[in-house]
Structure 1
Amino acid sequence: MMAGAPAHAQKIRMIVEGRVIAATLTDNPTTRDLLSMLPLTLTLDDYADTEKIVYLDRKLSTAGAPAGSTPKAGTIAYYAPWGNLAFFYKDFAYSRGLVTLGTIDAADAGVAAYKRGGELKVRIERAD
């Protein structure tokens, strides 16, 4: 295991318009619930010129989740009040109900794929 990597981190890959982007998810109940749904093919919408979001077919578990978090560019999160995944391409303020799931590896390169306007198709799968 790499130094500094979480003990039970799970690697995923996101295929965004043919480009493979790696990410590392932390081990928490919300992440485990998301992993149980993979693979997923989703259409993301832009939100607030800060993130790409998509509503899931069902809400994820937030057992033991902190009250909120402060996302940075590259953060992958779940916004519990709305039931959506969020892929941040810009830093944002503390948000109550936002559960951090992980981060895009090599954030500068990976985040660029999410910055374009409009809808974005992405496939998320485990990278075992």
Structure 2
Amino acid sequence: MMIRGVFACAITLLLVVTCASAATRTANQNPRETMNIKMTIAGQIITARLEDNHSARDFFAMLPLTLPIEDYAETEKIAYLPRQLTTLGAPKGIDPGVGDLTYYAPWGNLAIFYRDFGYSTGLIKLGRITSGLDALTAQPSGTLTIEAVK
């Protein structure tokens, strides 16, 4: 009787390990696509990585875009998108930091912060600048081209 119980436990453990291993292999074969973008202003390149949220995926699906960009409050650069992004699952607001790429839902604009700012209702984080933030701050205004990086 004792041997049968030990054997049953061993079989159960083997099944659990086998299933966990198969699930890990499946997850590694189908990782979520990383959403990287390249922004160009006055011949300068800025790179960013987008978040894995509904708003960022909606923004990524719009690319490529060419938008006029301007300074706002000596804190951020803003550009108006051709349409509103989804806010499904978004928090009520965020406290953006330097280098955050965001969407301000009430106005429908992209906002890229180059100075620290306080909590703002309606602000959704889309991603973060990974390089080239200085290129953005060197221009008071201009044309920003945003493309997906494969």
TM-score by length of 2: 0.75
Please report the RMSD computed on the Cα atoms of aligned residues, expressed in angstroms.
1.3
Deviations 1:42-68 (A, max 9, x none): 110110000010111111000000111
The structure where strand makes up a greater share of residues is: 1
Q: Within the alignment, does 1:126 sit opposite 2:148 as a pair?
A: yes
Q: Which amino acid aligns with 2:102?
A: A
Question: Which of 95, 105, 119 is the matching residue for 1:94?
Answer: 119
Deviations 1:44-97 (A, max 9, x none): 011000001011111100000011111111000000011100011111001011
Gaps of 5+ in 2: 1-31
Q: Within the alignment, does 1:25 sit opposite 2:50 as a pair?
A: yes
Return the index of the structure with the highest Cα Rg: 2
The residue number in structure 1 matching 2:138 is 116
Compare 80-89 and 117-126 and name the one that shifted more.
117-126
Compare 70-79 and 118-127 and name the one that shifted more.
118-127
With a CA cutoff of 8 Å and minimum separation of 6, indicate the structure with the bigger relative contact order. 1
The residue number in structure 2 matching 1:56 is 81
DSSP 3-state at the match of 2:137: coil
Question: Following TM superposition, by how much is the alpha carbon of 1:117 offset from its aligned partner in structure 2, in angstroms?
Answer: 5.2
Q: Does the 8 Å contact 1:73/1:111 carry over to 2?
A: no
Instruction: Figure out how many residues of one structure are paired with residues of the other and give that number.
Output: 119
Q: Which runs of 4+ in 1 moved over 3 A?
A: none
Taking the aligned partners of 1:67 and 1:8, their CA distance within structure 2 comes to 26
